[in-house]
């Protein structure tokens, strides 16, 4: 692989929460600055109604939190493989296909990278999870095909894919001095992806690495699922989740589920959803929670609340608890969220991750004692309970942390140079 000239192609890591673009060129950092001097662009679009324009990334979050009227769209990648991708959504008073929404954001990644690079990119290697959709090969292929269609529509002529954990492996390989059997653990916003790969300095330049990839696996569990469980267990009870109806039955949970799930928050604001909630109020024993829920919906504060939950999850990586003030909804309303509560709320998700890792090792016919290194990457890989959960399975492995937001984009850039020159 000739590294004396800049690569023709770039690598794009379109992530559920954050996205990066990598481009190999001599003597320069691989990852391109996409917003101010930052290598990540949060995967967020805000349609500002007052100024009738979309904004992206940190600016989108800023305008939303500043109180501009508009529509915030986040976790766009979660649309791939979902039924929503075939539908439209209302944006600035007109219907926009969800596919076009993806095109807007990925188009931003392309144009920002091209502006920084001072040249156009016509070839790209896109990262993809091992499974967009669990246990449904047809839906998984459809998700990849959708991404190809979107990439071509915004101007890429050649589009190919690499599994995200394999890309992370290539990034790690650029740093090692001896052969290692490495388990890549990539915990992103929407999926957890794993690969078991044989890496060595001597094999960096080899184009076909198929025999070095012993197994890949994944499960549709990621940071947004951890947010959802923390929200449901710790915050939504204040908004009526778990309330009893006068009949003794529990209040239906769809409104709370939608509010706790990033890409369905906007559905709670629909007239149909609000009418259903209104008709329920008179059948509820204690109306305090549902009245707060009405206030939250009236203020369109669903994303505000989800951001507080996400921020709490991140803080609980280092702290034992966090007092969350919710004065915006009701004076003196607050909730104390602890790491213990968070860990118990995600225990079922961690079990699914462990099961997926066990399956991966079995597929490769590798014993737990044979793995030399566990390489953690992805924004949610820092959660202590998750690390301990995986580490306990692999007693002999040392633990290495990659650039949690940059490893995949860097690895995709390496792959792009190999494939397209």
End-to-end CA distance of the chain: 8
Residue 413 sits in the same domain as residue 323: no
41-62 confidence digits (pLDDT tens): 999 999 988 888 899 999 999 9
290-322 confidence digits (pLDDT tens): 999 999 999 999 999 999 999 999 999 999 999
User: What pLDDT is recorded for position 1?
Assistant: 54
Q: What is the reported pTM? A: 0.88
Which of 319, 345, 371 is the endpoint of a domain?
A: 345
Residue 18 sits in the same domain as residue 160: yes
Per the structure, the complete domain to which residue 103 belongs is given by 10-177+403-420
Q: How confident is the model at residue 204 (pLDDT cuts 50, 70, 90)?
A: confident
Token reading at 163: 């599994």
Residue 242 sits in the same domain as residue 340: yes
Helix, strand, coil tally for the chain in percent (to 5): 45, 20, 35
Which CATH number belongs to the domain containing residue 26 in this structure? Answer: 3.30.420.40
Whether 354 is in a domain gets the answer: no
Whether 168 is in a domain gets the answer: yes
Q: How confident is the model at residue 203 (pLDDT cuts 50, 70, 90)?
A: confident
User: What pLDDT is recorded for position 62?
Assistant: 93
Q: How confident is the model at residue 85 (pLDDT cuts 50, 70, 90)?
A: confident
Average pLDDT, the chain: 93
Write the DSSP assignment of 343-384 as a string of letters. HHHTHHHHHHHHHHHHHHHHHHT--GGG--EEEEESTTTT-H
Residue 151 sits in the same domain as residue 300: no
Please choose, from the candidates 417, 420, 409, the residue with its C-alpha nearest in 3D space to the C-alpha of residue 30: 409
How many domains is the chain built from? 2
- The three-class DSSP label of residue 2 is coil
Residue 248 sits in the same domain as residue 112: no
Residue 108 sits in the same domain as residue 246: no
216-261 confidence digits (pLDDT tens): 999 999 999 999 999 999 999 999 999 999 999 999 899 999 999 9
């Amino acid at each position: 692989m000739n590294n004396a000239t800049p690569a023709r192609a770039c690598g794009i890591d379109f992530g559920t929460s954050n996205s990066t673009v990598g481009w190999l060129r001599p003597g320069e950092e691989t990852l391109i600055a996409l917003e101010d001097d930052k290598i990540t662009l949060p995967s967020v679009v805000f349609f500002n109604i007052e100024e009738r324009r979309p904004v992206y990334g940190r600016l989108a979050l800023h305008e939303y939190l500043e109180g501009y009227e508009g529509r915030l769209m986040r976790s766009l990648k979660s649309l791939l493989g979902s039924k929503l991708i075939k539908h439209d959504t209302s944006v600035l008073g007109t219907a926009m296909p969800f596919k076009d929404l993806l095109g807007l954001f990925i188009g931003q990644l392309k144009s920002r990278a091209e502006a920084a690079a001072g040249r156009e990119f016509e070839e790209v290697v896109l990262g993809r999870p091992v499974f967009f959709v669990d246990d449904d090969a047809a839906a998984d292929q459809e998700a990849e095909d959708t991404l190809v269609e979107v990439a071509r529509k915004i101007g890429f002529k050649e589009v190919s894919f690499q599994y995200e954990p394999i890309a992370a492996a290539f990034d790690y390989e650029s740093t090692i001095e001896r052969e290692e059997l490495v388990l890549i653990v990539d915990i992103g916003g929407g999926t957890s992806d794993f690969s078991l790969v044989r890496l060595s300095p001597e094999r960096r330049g080899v184009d076909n690495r198929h025999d070095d990839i012993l197994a890949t696996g994944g499960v549709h569990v990621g940071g947004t699922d951890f947010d959802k469980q923390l929200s449901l267990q710790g915050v939504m009870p204040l908004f009526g989740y778990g309330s009893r109806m006068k009949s003794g039955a529990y209040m239906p949970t769809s409104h709370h589920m939608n509010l706790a799930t990033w890409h369905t928050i906007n559905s709670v604001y629909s007239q149909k959803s609000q009418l259903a909630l209104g008709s329920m109020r008179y059948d509820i024993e204690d109306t305090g929670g549902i009245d707060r829920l009405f206030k939250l919906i009236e203020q369109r504060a669903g994303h505000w609340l989800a951001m507080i939950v996400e921020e709490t999850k991140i803080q609980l990586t280092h702290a034992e608890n966090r007092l969350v003030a919710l004065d915006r909804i009701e004076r003196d309303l607050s909730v104390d969220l602890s790491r213990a509560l968070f860990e118990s709320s995600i225990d079922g998700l961690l079990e699914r991750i462990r099961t997926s890792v066990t399956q991966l090792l079995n597929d490769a016919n590798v014993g737990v004692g044979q793995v030399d290194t566990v390489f953690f990457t992805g924004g949610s890989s820092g959660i202590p309970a998750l690390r301990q959960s995986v580490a306990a399975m692999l007693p002999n492995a040392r633990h290495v942390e990659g650039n949690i937001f940059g490893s995949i984009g860097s690895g995709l850039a390496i792959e792009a140079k190999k494939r397209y020159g």
